[in-house]
Copies of this chain bind each other. A is one copy, B any other.
Amino acid sequence: MTRKPEPEVVPRPLTPVELELMHIVWRLGEVSVADVLAALPPERALAYTSVSTVLRILEQKGVVESRKQGRGHLYSAVLPRDAYEAQSVRHLVETVFDGTPSALVARLVEAVPLSASEVDQLRELLDAKGRKP
């Protein structure tokens, strides 16, 4: 009935709000609560305390770290965006595509509209990969 405390093979994705704030942290580097608040789109009016709470949760999860600065704290990412992207893709391959990466890409090119230039870009990526395995 209780959650298994074993370290997860593929870490659990960030929750929607956590991810929303992390995008800001990744973009700005080192941020105060006020910075995050200011960076949110106008229609997304979170309370100061809500942002503060989520940042504290993220710190508790080890996703960001903070250092004291003047009156408040400055938060910065411990988990780089690259790493989270990689983690997310792995998680999706694992849980939805039976661990088969090509199945994901197959579905992607079929289900998501791709511009010609994007297709070209992908081809280049594969060529680079194919030449030095």
Interface, chain A (partner B; CB < 8 A)? 16, 19, 82, 84-86, 88-90, 92-93, 95-97, 100-112, 114, 116, 118-123, 125-126, 129-130, 133
What number of copies of this chain does the assembly contain? 2
- A89 — which chain B residues lie within 8 A by C-beta? 92, 104, 107-108, 111-112
The residue on B at minimum CB distance from A83 is: B111
- A118 — which chain B residues lie within 8 A by C-beta? 100-102
Contact B96 A101 (CB under 8 A): no
6 closest Cβ pairs, A-B complex: A86-B111, A85-B107, A102-B118, A102-B121, A88-B96, A101-B112
The residue on B at minimum CB distance from A128 is: B109
